[in-house]
Structure 1
Amino acid sequence: MAEQYTQVSEFDEKVIQISRVSKKTKGGSKMGFSVLMVVGDRKGKVGVGLGKAKDVMSAIQKGIKKAKKHLITVPIDGTTIPFRVLMKKGAGQVLLKPAPKGSGVIAGGPVRAVVEAAGIRDISSKILGTQNQASNVYTTFAALTQISQIVKLKNISLKSLAQVESEEVAKMTEEQKRLSGVSQTAVEKPAKRVVAKKKTGITKKKSTKK
């Protein structure tokens, strides 16, 4: 994976992938380059952009410009994300999980590039789909976007969100226990009824013979 670190203004800029592309025209094929960029301020803002141009430097500048146009603000709980998220986008599938302080970034190259640019210092991740770098970058960005949208929709603080999540997990556990108890009694009751019907059927036959 091609990586390049530069710093302009308050944003860190990272080259993720450089690809050679060709475009067919009436006059023949025109060669060019596409560059996938990740930019972030390491304080919660991160963006992804793809730039295309005849030369690499122009493609990089276009990628940076597009990434800055699509910046999102990721809610960071201390040094990690507030809750786990599983995101599937095309062939890419990425799982992001919160990690205790001091754990570090446990992630592969494409995922690491995005979360570090956002300023997340502790996180655990797993790539479950394709190993394509560009696909995993976009999927990770989509996962962080989903976290941001959920927090905005709920309109609550990160502490409240964590409390709500723990309460929901507790309720689900209690509900599962209750349902398992109900299912056991439901299995036992029909067996008793079948036995009772057989007994009554036998007594009726005896009475008719008499």
Structure 2
Amino acid sequence: MGFKSGTKKEKVHDGFEERAVVIIDDKKGQVGVGVGKAKEVVAAVQKSASNVKRNIVKVPMTKYSTFPHMYFLDLTLPYTVFLNQSAFDEVF
């Protein structure tokens, strides 16, 4: 869950708004994301919780309970990739 505060400049008065992001999953491949905005944090969380129920999607899962992904290793780019010792010995 994440929160962000923001202000809005209007002609009549300055407005202050809270934004809440809620992400849920059931560890079986269903994920929901909801965003809610309100003047109070509690109301923003309630709006995002009702929004998350409408935005549930099915994500494919592997047999290891992770989503399919790939790792890319490019030794010319200036970033560090951490490997465990056995993988380090196989590469070098």
Report the TM-score when normalising by structure 2: 0.64
SS of structure 1 residue aligned to 2:46 = helix
Report the structure, 1 or 2, having the larger strand content.
2
Residue equivalent to 1:182 = none
Asked if the contact 2:59–2:67 (Cα under 8 Å) also holds between the matched residues in 1, the reply is: no
Paired residues in the alignment total 72
CA drift of 1:33 comes to 0.4
Unaligned runs of 5+ in 2: 72-78, 80-92
CA RMSD of aligned residues (A): 2.2
- Identity across aligned pairs (percent)? 29
Q: 2:37 aligns with which of 33, 52, 64?
A: 52
Asked if the contact 1:39–1:64 (Cα under 8 Å) also holds between the matched residues in 2, the reply is: no
Residue 82 to residue 48, structure 1, CA distance change in 2 (3 Å) = closer
- The answer on 1:65 being equivalent to 2:53 is no
- The answer on 1:35 being equivalent to 2:16 is no
- In terms of Rg, which structure is larger? 1
Report the TM-score when normalising by structure 1: 0.31
Unaligned runs of 5+ in 1: 1-14, 86-94, 96-127, 129-210
Residue 47 to residue 29, structure 1, CA distance change in 2 (3 Å) = same
Asked if the contact 1:39–1:68 (Cα under 8 Å) also holds between the matched residues in 2, the reply is: no
Report the structure, 1 or 2, having the larger helix content.
1
